[in-house]
Amino acid sequence: MKFKKTGLEGCYILEHDIFEDGRGKFYESYNKEKFEALLEIPVNFVQDNHSVSHKGVLRGLHYQKLPHEQSKLVRVVRGEAIDVVVDIRKNSPTFGRHFKIRLSEGDGISLFIPKGMAHGFLALKDQTVFIYKCDHYYHKESERGIMYNDPDLRIDWEADEDSLILSDKDRKLPSFKDLLL
């Protein structure tokens, strides 16, 4: 497993070693000892989430506020998605910046998202399966979000806005500027 920096403080791409033979492929998607040794901080994942999305579904940008913030380890196991992370930590040198990556089945890539970042993804294929580990349990009262098409963030989702499928809740998320108030 190799770590690559993303340009956001503490957010990393993990490239897993893929072993392939006549039977197919194998890779170790998570190993606590190796993960923490590379990250150099302890992370205790307590919840796994699994979503299945139709092509065009955009989920996000979501986060949980203190004291229920979550670090996440995300990957796509079927289909393909554009994954976006926004640094919302006001004291961070990368505050207000975002990182975007395309994740797909079989690519052997995961993304580590530290606490204090908003996260979302766009499914590029039908039945895209997205799996993520969280180091804090879901807490409904702490759930927050930022509008996916916020003009200050200028995220290029690489899709026609009319083709996007969003939940009613995600359509009503506040702007990035609202975080600053």
* Catalytic residue check, 132: yes
Mean pLDDT computed over every residue of the chain:
94
Tabulate helix, strand, coil % of the chain (nearest 5): 15, 40, 45
Residue type, 108: G
- Terminus-to-terminus CA distance in the chain, angstroms? 40
Q: What would the pLDDT profile of 6-16 be if each residue is shown by its tens digit?
A: 999 999 999 99
Quick check: helix, strand or coil at residue 145? strand
- 76 closest CA partner among 120, 31, 34, 123: 123
**Domains identified in the chain and CATH numbers:** 2-180 (2.60.120.10)
Q: Please compute the mean of the pLDDT values over residues 75-79 and round it to a whole number.
A: 97
Q: Which of 62, 98, 119, 136 is catalytic?
A: 62
Q: Which of 12, 63, 98, 132 is catalytic?
A: 132
* Model pLDDT, residue 181: 54
Q: Please compute the mean of the pLDDT values over residues 152-165 and round it to a whole number.
A: 95
Q: Please compute the mean of the pLDDT values over residues 149-177 and round it to a whole number.
A: 95
CA atoms of 78 and 88, how far apart (whole Å)? 29
The token pair at 174 is 């506040």
**Predicted confidence band at 121 (pLDDT cuts at 50, 70, 90)?**
very high
Contacts 24+ apart (CB under 8 A), 15-20: 15/108, 15/109, 16/108, 16/109, 16/110, 17/108, 18/106, 18/108
Strands 128-134 and 98-104: unpaired
* Catalytic residue check, 148: no
Whether the predicted pLDDT of 138 surpasses 90: yes
